[in-house]
Structure formats: C-alpha cells, structure tokens
Amino acid sequence: MRGPHNIWRLVYTGATLERTGAMGAVLEAFDAPPGVRALARVLGWPFKWLGAKGDPNSPPIPRALTALGPAYIKFGQILSTRPDVVGVEVAQQLTVLQDRLPPFPRERAMRMIDAELDAPFDAVFSEFSEPVAAASIAQVHRARLADSGREVAVKVLRPDIMRAFRKDIDAFYLAAWMVETFSPSSRRLRPQDVIRHFEGVVMGELDLRLEAASASEFAANTASDAGFRVPQVHWGTTGRNMMTLDWAEGLAANDLAGIDAARHDRAALGERVLSLFLRHALRDGYFHADMHQGNLKIAENGDIIALDFGIMGQIDEYTRRVYAEILFGFIRRDYRRVAEVHFEAGYVPADRDIDEFARALRAVGEPIFGMDATRISMARLLAYLFDVTERFGMRTRTELILLQRTMVVVEGVSRSLYPQINIWEVARPVVEGYIKENIGPKALARDMRKTAMVLARFGPRLPQLAETALIRQADEPGYRAERRSTLRERAALVALGGGLVALGAMLAGALG
C-alpha cells in the first residue's frame, strides 16, 4: 500500500503545513537541505488553498497536526518524546499538542461494546453517559456496572480507527522514503526507522488490552506508594476495542483555584509528583511517560490519581543504576565520578579523554547549581548532558530520551503546583535511597544470589555439559596433545561453575 496513490495525502499534508505556517518551522527543525525544501514547497505551496486551516489560536505545528487528523496528532505526540530527531524547541511545542477531537455518537459506542463483549449491553452496564472526553484514538464514557453497581470509566476506540491509521502510516512511509532518496544526509536521522517506531507504538495503543495490562502492572508496582493511586482494571469488561477502569473522581491537576479551595497543600503535591516519578523510574524501571496535568487528578483526600496508560517508559536494572549514579554525582558535584560512570558503562568511547570529559560535565553542572531554587531544572541538566555526551561520541539511547522528555513534563506539573520547588532537594533522598539499596555490598550480595540461582538451575546438567564440551573438542580436526591444556582449562571452568552453585546455595540460605 506504500505506493504512488499516497501522493495525494502527502500533497494535502504539504498544503496544510503551508496554510497553517508550519512548513518553515518543520523544515528548520530538521535542518532540511535545499533539495528537501524544494520538494516540500512543490508539494505544498501550489496547493496551499486545498489545505486545512486549523485553529488560528494554536502554534503553527500543533495547529497543522490537529487539522490533519488522528494519526498526525499521535505522530506529533510521539515525536515530542524524540528531541534527538526533531530538536528540543519543536519537541517542547509538541508536548502541548491537544489530543482532542469531536466525539462519535454514544449509540455507536454501545453497539461496539455489544459486539466486543458478545453480551447484551443492558446486562453489562446499568448506566452509560454521553462521552466525557474524546481524543484521537478513543473516547471515554462514565458508566455503572450492572452486577456490582460500581462506577467505572469505559474507554472505547474510534470506529474504523485501525483502517484510518493504516492509510496515514502508509503515506508516512512514502514520505520517509522520499526524504531519504532526495536527501542522503537525512539518513542519519533514520526517517523510516522513526516511522517504524511510530507504527509499533500506535499498533499497541489500538489494542486496549495492552493499555489495560500497563495499568495493571503500574498499579501493582505502586500499590504501597502513599498518596498515589491507579484505577483498578475490570478485565471482564475489557477487550481489544474497549477498556474499563474504576471511575476516578477528583480535581484536574491544573485546576489550581479548585485545589486551593479544597485546602490541599500545593507545595506537598508538587514535591510528591516529582518524587513519585523518580521513584517509579529508579525503583521499578517502569514509569508513566505522559504525566501531564490532563492525566493527573487530585482526589478529595489529596491522593494523586494517574490516568491514561497508553505511553509507558521502561528502563532495565543496569541502566537505572547508571542513571542513579550520574544523578547522584551531579547532586554531589562530583564530576569526575560522573565521567567515570559514563566510561564504565561504555556510553562514551574508551579512546576519549576522561579528564576533558569531566571538565565538560563541570561546565554543564556548575551554572545550574549557581541558580536560585526556582530556576534549577533537572530536565535542563539532562538536555545539556545529552549535548555534551553526543559531542564525545555517545550514541543516542532512546529510553533515556523518553525519560528526559517525561522529566520536562513532570517538572512543569510540579512547578505549576509549587513554583518555589527545589528540584535537587526533592530528588536527593530518592536517589540516595535507591543507591543505598542497589549499589554497594547489599546489592552485590543480591546480584550474586540471583546469579547463583540461575547457575543452580543448570546444576544437574553440568556433568553432561562438561562431557559434551570435552568430546566436541577432542573430535575437532587437527586435535593435538598440546591442546589438552585447553581441555583442562574448560574442565576447571566447569568445576568453578559447580563451586558457584554451591556458593549460591549457601548465599540463598544466608539471605533467604
């Protein structure tokens, strides 16, 4: 489907970018070469009158993407997590992209639910409201379960949304191919890989069972976090095209007047939003990656309630330890240690000068520490840090870029609630607590226990593995007596493995 018939969609896209004034900003953000600029103008300027006007009160790029429809809105949201591709300025513009579209009729949603659950609608829900929110992929209804009387939120996918997205994604692939063809220098940005990433994210969001699984996992991870809640998933009324969660009653996080009227402590809320995010990222390695005001509510008792789990971030345990050490090094202003961590992790090529790198890191950190509390920004620090590491040859790490983008959003929420927040004072106990538990003797013992448990599972097979290795070695062509030393070394390694199993059993008993 990625053929010439998609050219009309690209012409319409170019015309809309021209008409809304977004074309120049997009070309500038990508530092487009003359050939691409000329191609874009050919696709846009002569047909400008065919393009959509959009909302003149919106900035040009969000205005154009909103006018172009659901796939473009979602594409813009995902690109906001990739400042390495679109640049920091455009990424920040895209974070305020409003994902709001006119709702589809309530009756259509009810028919879709009938088909999804293969049960009479009235047997499932005793109440079902008009849409209370409508976005590019789905809309939400307030409802009540017939069997329990429990109030719930029902998220329903837009009709034919899969077909609509497929059509636009095909056009995106054609556009990426044209950019790579006419501008070889743009291949460093890997346009087609960006579209593949977008396609993977969207296809996941178009199966609401996956979002429900994310909500369930997030709820399990955060169950013991005081002052934080995730609505419970109702799996019996959740499927590919619909998802049911407990209804979350509360004030929107940007309703500052309402929060003040309810006598909530805004300073405490601002600090809690930030510390919770850091705890989820470091402790769990699984965090809400779209934590803006629209996805947060303040309950009557002051709890923070998270909503919308379509975009989640994940960081493996090793990367979390590296990230924590980097943050802790900056908090302590130990730039040499921050540099060493980068080299130890292999983030910076070993042939670079570690002292020069440490000085570059000092140039990043010291100006920030010289600011007053209201201007200190961890998000700014991470942005500067990525600039420096890129100059020293560090490859882009997508999971850290998503973390940095979310940090920008979370800091914005925290500062809107409490403008005087000191980011470092809030972050320090979270980072120190993580390091105490995960870097040091206690963490080493825990790691050895895990390693020993893995080895122990192979314990019964060690004799067979040793015999197979020895026989294979002996049967190799050109086998000579002088190579028996290699066999002895391998046998010694097998014996060492057995010793580790025994050590693991002792550790498991001591630490269990």
In order of 335, 351, 390, the CA distances from 357 in angstroms are: 9, 11, 11
Helix (H, G, I), strand (E, B) or coil at 146: coil
Q: For residue 118, how many other CB atoms are within 10 A of its CB?
A: 7
With beta carbons less than 8 A apart as the criterion, state whether 117 and 156 touch.
Answer: no
* Six token digits for residue 480: 């000579």
- The residue with tokens 């000191």 is 422
Helix (H) or strand (E) run with residue 297 in it: strand 296-298
229 Cβ contact list (under 8 Å, min separation 6)? 248, 299, 303, 304, 305, 306
What gap in Å lies between CA 118 and CA 111, rounded to an integer? Answer: 10
Helix (H, G, I), strand (E, B) or coil at 229: strand
User: 290 an active-site residue?
Assistant: yes
Angle, alpha carbons 364-276-449 (nearest 5°): 90
Paired sense of beta strands 228-229 and 304-306, if any: parallel
With beta carbons less than 8 A apart as the criterion, state whether 174 and 3 touch.
Answer: yes
In order of 197, 318, 409, the CA distances from 60 in angstroms are: 25, 41, 21
231 Cβ contact list (under 8 Å, min separation 6)? 153, 215, 219, 245, 246, 247, 248, 305, 307
With beta carbons less than 8 A apart as the criterion, state whether 226 and 249 touch.
Answer: no
* Six token digits for residue 82: 């990739």
3-state helix, strand, coil in the chain (%, to 5): 65, 10, 25
What gap in Å lies between CA 378 and CA 330, rounded to an integer? Answer: 10
Catalytically annotated residue among 99, 168, 225, 290? 290
Q: Which are the catalytic amino acids?
A: 290
